[in-house]
Chain A
Amino acid sequence: MATPGNKLAFDGGWGYDPAPESTDHIDVKSRYGLFINGDFVKPEKGKYFDTINPATEDKLSRVAEASAVDVDKAVKAARAAYRGPWGRMKPAERSKYIYRIARIMQERACEFSVIESLDGGKPIRESRDVDIPLAAAHFFYYAGWADKLEYAFPGRTAKSLGVAGQIIPWNFPLLMASWKIAPALACGNTVVLKPAETTPLTAMKLAEVIADAGLPPGVVNIVTGAGAAGAAIVDHPGVDKVAFTGSTNIGRMIQKSLAGTNKRYTLELGGKAANIIFADAAIDQAVEGIVNGIFFNQGHVCCAGSRLFVQESVADEVIAKLKDRMETLIVGDPLDKNTDVGAINSTMQLDKIQSYLKIGQAEGGDMHQSSCTLPNKGYWCRPTIFTGVSQSSRVVQEEIFGPVLAIQTFRKYDEALTKANNTPYGLSGGIWTDKGSKIFNMTQKIRAGVVWANTFNKFDPTSPFGGYKESGVGREGGLHGLDAYVKLGVK
């Protein structure tokens, strides 16, 4: 709704009352062990670490810190399950176990959503409407592949690899766990998964689901911990395949440390997506797309539309509308159903984002932030845009992983394309125009694994996701995501 002064006011002047999701129905234990061989077990060295709510800085639980010894136990359990019941199971039966996981997750979706928002800081609207339903859908999708793999690879046989070591990030904790575990199981592998150290809780709840679903012990093992536990998985000789989602720097280290081994790997790494707005785009929709592209999940999205390119003739209009729209964004309590932008995931990440805000200004960028008030406790960052930046600016070149948008303009089509592709990354891209031929031309020429035309940040289990260039190797999701978990043979 437009009000005098042409400002957007979605509340119509009435204001939003708090609408917090209740937490009385969730069950978070005060301490979690490691999920190895079907049981929650104490870590060998007896170490635990806190996991906190980034919106309040309150401790939620204590979680085991896995050592190399624990990882070894988990890999051995996974190997035994692979050689044993899981490896021997008929694919159609395997399939039914994976379906069970999907169904139980759907039943417990509300609980998972609340815990995801508590532990990670993301708005309940996103965990409720995006993360958790997509995670369940991912299991449901891949469950059905288990007994149909021969149709996925024409002219080839597809066999499982063995034990998959999987390391996931903190931005979509349960969803990333499902992206990793579901296809691995469908293809007949067993799993050792390490969730991110700041967001371990939904993975531990997933462990409960896996136990409830009656999967044979050792098929899925979940070990919590920090980088050392991840390295122990990558380096373990009993791991046949490493799947990693995270930063390009860590991905590079993993690729190097796997050199000379026969381990397979897939890497889903960083991004710096171009979101390109042409003058003939539906501007209001494009502004929504910009907001969704960069402020969705506090910008903690590897495929975030963090570089905006606006055609010069509409740049003033788009930027003015974007600033208006930013003023309407509700930043605050992740559990509030009205919240648009939640808490920054950790104090470390907040430091990183804030350092980029300084860098952007020091390099001559013009910074604008929404005027929202921020809670006193917790980790927060106002929705932020930079104008007056150039291709060489660090805020244009480097992945910030926060609600920070770098805006540049262009005159001609070729200029937009050249600037968009001028990055070592190639994960995703966006284009906004009403002209069909331009859509096909641009979407073909953007060097990125996922391109959204007149939309942004959409995900689906059937849709392959993954990067070109330094954004990674391999795909997750869809038929193409099966590739990561099979070895092909001649028929």
Chain B
Amino acid sequence: MSADRIAVAKTYKIYIGGKFPRSESGRYFTLEDKKGNIIANICRGSRKDFRNSVVAARSAQLGWGEASAYLHGQILYRIAEMLEGRREQFVAELVLQGVASRAAEKEVDQSIDRLIYYAGWSDKYQQVFSAVNPVSSSHFNFSVLEPTGVVAIMSPDDNSLLGLVSNIAAAIVGGNTCIVLASETKPLCAVSFAEVLHASDVPGGVVNILTGFRSELTEFFASHMDVNAVIYCDGGKAVAKTVQVLAADNIKRVIARNRVNWSGDAANPYLIRDTQEVKTTWHPIGA
């Protein structure tokens, strides 16, 4: 970079309801590289930010859930296109946060491919997991999957991009909306990914991304009464207990994703199924 030009540094903000506010709390934490140089100030998301995100996610859920499988697929594909176009930026951000450059390139490539993978499932998982049930009485009976609703996701600290993308893709391809807590140690890609989502025809509120301290926000993710499912990644036993106890207040679905090989078996439709409900419909057969 030539010395006569000052680079424009990016402000990393959170993503709620299709907008990029700072944390309502006004709080921040400083992200440093290994040498202790400041990379950026990151929003330290609050309970109120989370609650605002749930409102946005809930109001977006009905429309997103009813959008066609084809549209879900195209929008996920569009996210991949946008991420591909900004590949170098994401690699650079991972490197800045201490990921080796080869590993960073691999993680970004896999993230793009992961989106394509789940885009392809949009109009197929239903066919794989649904059933027509041969009941004995004179009824037509079938079971299909429907989105669980609003999903709160605490994404993994490592694999800050691939883990985030896998969790989001599997949730939204099935018609859920989500609130995602970014990696605490590597939050940059999550914020940039929000910008990618914003440019990909994903309706506002379908994905909401917060940065902040996991230790502070876990209880809010697990306890909110208008959240239908909570996913936590790499929580220890204490986290598991906290999440499950609080989740029980409204019988949330609790999904633990511990020690997931994000570059391998996180590509499978059972991740989609984790945040789906089976609905069975009956109708008489007669004249």
Contacts and interface: CB of A to CB of B under 8 A. Distances in A.
Contacts of B133: 460, 462-464, 478-479
A465 B149 CA distance: 19
Nearest to A452: B282
A480 B283 contact: no
A470 interface: yes
Contacts of A295: none
Question: Could you tell me the dominant secondary structure of chain B's interface residues?
Answer: mixed
A354 interface: no
Contacts of B228: 469
By size class, the interface of chain A is 35 or more
Q: Which of B240, B249, B283 has the most A CB atoms < 10 Å from its CB? A: B283
Interface stretch (B5-13, B82-90, B137-145, B211-219): B137-145
B139 A469 contact: no
Nearest to A133: B136
B48 interface: no
A449 B280 contact: yes
B261 to A, nearest CB: 9
A248 B278 CA distance: 19
A458 B279 contact: no
Contact of B251 (A448, A463, A470, A479): A470
A227 interface: no
Contacts of A468: 148, 277, 279
B44 interface: no
A252 B244 CA distance: 10
B99 to A, nearest CB: 26
B268 interface: yes
Given A450-B279, A454-B283, A478-B143, A256 B251 contact: no
| Interface size bracket, B side | 35 or more
Contacts of A156: 270
A258 interface: yes
Given A269-B251, A460-B141, A480-B131, A259 B282 contact: no
A2 interface: no
A455 B283 contact: yes
A490 B143 CA distance: 25
Contacts of B241: 259-260
A473 interface: yes
A292 to B, nearest CB: 13
Among B250, B269, B277, the most chain A Cβ lie within 10 Å of the Cβ of: B277
Give the one of B128, B134, B282 with max A CB within 10 A. Answer: B282
A121 B265 CA distance: 52
A479 B265 contact: no
B282 A455 contact: yes
A460 B135 contact: yes
B103 interface: no
A291 interface: no
Given A260-B245, A424-B250, A449-B279, 11 more contacts: A156-B270, A248-B251, A253-B248, A443-B281, A448-B279, A454-B284, A455-B284, A460-B135, A464-B131, A464-B133, A465-B280
